[in-house]
């Protein structure tokens, strides 16, 4: 099985899904902003913008699609690494004992270190990749019933105080004490724009292509 091809088939679908799934929500937002049918605002002295609820729902729809995409991306990377390591076990008789208590990504990083394949050599941004897996966990395990949005956890913000999946405006709502301790006035939300989703996809593809090239380099040596 060509596992790199399988991985990139998944990532290609993630791009396709994002582009097409957000379109109707983007069209609703644009129509409201441009006051186009069926969102031509009636005369009103109300200070609240017309169709605010519809605009916010469409915006949440776009965000939810982004969340779905990073969840698919994280799962795709997990499957790739599991298959990559499983191939060594099944075809080459390798045995691995790694600690997955700190997450599967860190567990596989440990395995690659033992194989003398430190992921720091892969050319990808490992911080973005790790944050993709953490964001997926937040999206899949929300904590507040009334809120459709998802915020970063305190633990994740300690690990990444300048999170990749966040709005710039929210990143400014932080207090840094003299001793370097960071406190948040409001924890930033897990924000997934097209640019952020596609950049995360690119980094995962870079990592997986490198791993596969290293495998065949060793096998064909």
Note the pLDDT of residue 121.
95
Note the pLDDT of residue 1.
76
The sign of the torsion formed by the CA atoms of 192, 198, 201, 203 equals negative
**SS3 at position 9:** helix
- Rounded CA separation 190/151 (Å): 5
pTM over 0.85: yes
- Rounded CA separation 155/18 (Å): 29
Note the pLDDT of residue 97.
83
- Rounded CA separation 8/175 (Å): 41
Q: What are the tens digits of pLDDT across the range 39-92?
A: 999 887 777 889 999 999 999 999 999 999 999 999 999 999 999 999 998 888
What residues in the chain have per-residue pLDDT under 70?
Answer: 176-180, 220-221
DSSP string across 11-71: HHHHHHHHHHHSHHHHHHHHHHHTT-TT-PPPP---SSPTTHHHHHHHHHHHHHHHHHHHH
| Domain parsing of the chain, residue ranges | 3-40+48-219
Note the pLDDT of residue 179.
64
């Amino acid at each position: 099985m060509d596992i790199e091809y399988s991985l990139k088939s998944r990532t290609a679908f993630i791009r396709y899904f994002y582009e097409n799934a957000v379109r109707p929500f983007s069209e609703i937002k644009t129509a409201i902003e441009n006051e186009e049918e069926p969102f031509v605002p009636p005369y009103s002295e109300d200070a609240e913008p017309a169709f605010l609820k519809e605009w916010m729902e469409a915006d949440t729809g776009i965000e939810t699609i982004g969340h779905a995409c990073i969840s698919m991306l994280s799962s795709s990377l997990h499957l790739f690494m599991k298959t990559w390591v499983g191939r060594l076990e099944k075809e080459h008789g390798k045995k691995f004992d790694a600690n997955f208590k700190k997450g599967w990504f860190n567990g596989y990083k440990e395995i690659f270190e033992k194989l003398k394949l430190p992921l720091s050599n892969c050319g990808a941004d490992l911080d973005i990749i790790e944050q993709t897996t953490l964001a997926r966990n937040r999206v899949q395990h929300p904590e507040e019933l009334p809120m459709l949005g998802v915020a970063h956890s305190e633990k994740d913000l300690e690990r990444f105080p300048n999170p990749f999946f966040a709005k710039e405006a929210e990143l400014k709502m932080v207090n840094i004490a003299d001793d370097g301790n960071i406190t948040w006035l409001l924890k930033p939300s897990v924000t997934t724009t097209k640019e952020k989703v596609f950049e995360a996809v690119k980094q995962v593809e870079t990592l997986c292509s490198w791993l596969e090239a290293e495998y065949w380099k060793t096998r064909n040596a």
